[in-house]
């Protein structure tokens, strides 16, 4: 009887060890997976932050050009003898010289902001690990950015490539409204980027540069 009892105890110990080993292995695997997920999350956030920093510089530079274009269009709308207005009325379409007069020989949008890192985070699903407030802010940034690229810039392109109206001032005013809307959307995007950066890195957060 004593032998059977000892065997039973040994069986319990062995069973407990097996259960412990399985649970410990599961814990280690889950811990490793969590660590991997956290690393992926951190990398994704860092790439998005870097992308937004670059985008902010791109948009800010473009906005300076568009502010100049707004001033030029306002002058042209108010003055019949303005050189840009006179030239546009003579040519009846936008050519290189018209753009040069309007943009002071600069490109209207030298470089477009990117959304590659944001799209990658959504495609891999890692965005589900972000805090809700961060996701909300990032979505706003990239939605506004997408809108002014796909909608407002497209509207401006249509105006530029269409024949100039017989009433040149009407074309100028139409373009003026669209460029003003673009500038407002650019300002909104920059403000949204700043808010998103603050959501990711609150003011009291110490960011260590890599």
Within 10 angstroms of residue 95's Cβ, the number of other Cβ atoms is 11
Residue listed under structure tokens 């412990």:
20
**Mean pLDDT computed over every residue of the chain:** 86
CA atoms within 13 A of residue 119's CA, in its CB half-sphere: 4
The range of the structural domain enclosing residue 164 comes to: 41-200
Question: Could you tell me if residue 15 is inside a domain?
Answer: no
pLDDT band at 38 (very low <50, low <70, confident <90, very high): confident
Over residues 20-26, the mean pLDDT reads 64
Q: How far apart are CA 172 and CA 180, in angstroms?
A: 12
Question: What are the pLDDT digits (tens) for 43-61?
Answer: 999 999 999 999 999 999 9
pLDDT number for residue 201:
87
Any idea what DSSP says for residue 107? -
Question: Could you tell me if residue 209 is inside a domain?
Answer: no
Q: How far apart are CA 121 and CA 174, in angstroms?
A: 38
Question: Could you tell me if residue 29 is inside a domain?
Answer: no
Which comes out higher in pLDDT, residue 202 or 199?
Answer: 199
- Evaluate whether 171 touches 159 at the Cβ level (below 8 Å): yes
Residue 14 scores a pLDDT above 70: no
Residue 33 scores a pLDDT above 70: no
Question: Could you tell me if residue 143 is inside a domain?
Answer: yes
pLDDT band at 206 (very low <50, low <70, confident <90, very high): very low
Question: Could you tell me if residue 145 is inside a domain?
Answer: yes
Residue listed under structure tokens 């502010």:
67
Question: Could you tell me if residue 36 is inside a domain?
Answer: no
Residue 3 scores a pLDDT above 80: no
Question: Could you tell me if residue 205 is inside a domain?
Answer: no
Question: Could you tell me if residue 88 is inside a domain?
Answer: yes
Which comes out higher in pLDDT, residue 103 or 29?
Answer: 103
The structural domain count of the chain equals 1
Q: How far apart are CA 20 and CA 1, in angstroms?
A: 28
pLDDT band at 202 (very low <50, low <70, confident <90, very high): confident
Question: What are the pLDDT digits (tens) for 77-121?
Answer: 999 999 999 999 898 888 889 889 888 889 888 899 999 999 999
Over residues 108-136, the mean pLDDT reads 92
Share of the chain above pLDDT 90, in %: 55
pLDDT number for residue 210:
46
Over residues 17-39, the mean pLDDT reads 67
Q: Which of these ranges, 28-32, 74-78, 96-100, 140-144, has the smallest mean pLDDT?
A: 28-32
């Amino acid at each position: 009887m004593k032998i059977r009892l000892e065997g039973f105890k040994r069986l319990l110990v062995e069973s407990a060890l097996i259960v412990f080993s399985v649970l410990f292995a599961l814990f280690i695997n889950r811990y490793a997976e969590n660590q991997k997920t956290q690393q992926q999350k951190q990398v994704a956030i860092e790439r998005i932050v870097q992308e937004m920093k670059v985008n902010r510089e791109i948009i800010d530079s473009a906005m300076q050009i568009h502010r100049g274009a707004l001033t030029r269009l306002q002058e042209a709308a108010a003055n019949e003898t303005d050189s840009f207005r006179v030239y546009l009325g003579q040519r009846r379409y936008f050519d290189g010289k018209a753009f040069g007069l309007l943009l002071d020989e600069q490109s209207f949008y030298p470089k477009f902001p990117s959304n590659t890192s944001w799209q990658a985070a959504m495609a891999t699903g890692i965005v589900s690990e972000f805090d809700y407030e961060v996701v909300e802010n990032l979505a706003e940034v990239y939605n506004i950015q997408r809108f002014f690229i796909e909608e407002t810039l497209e509207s401006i392109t249509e105006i530029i490539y269409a024949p100039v109206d017989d009433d040149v001032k009407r074309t100028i005013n139409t373009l003026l409204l669209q460029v003003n809307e673009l500038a407002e959307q650019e300002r909104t995007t920059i403000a949204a980027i700043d808010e998103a950066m603050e959501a990711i890195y609150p003011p009291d957060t110490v960011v260590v540069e890599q």
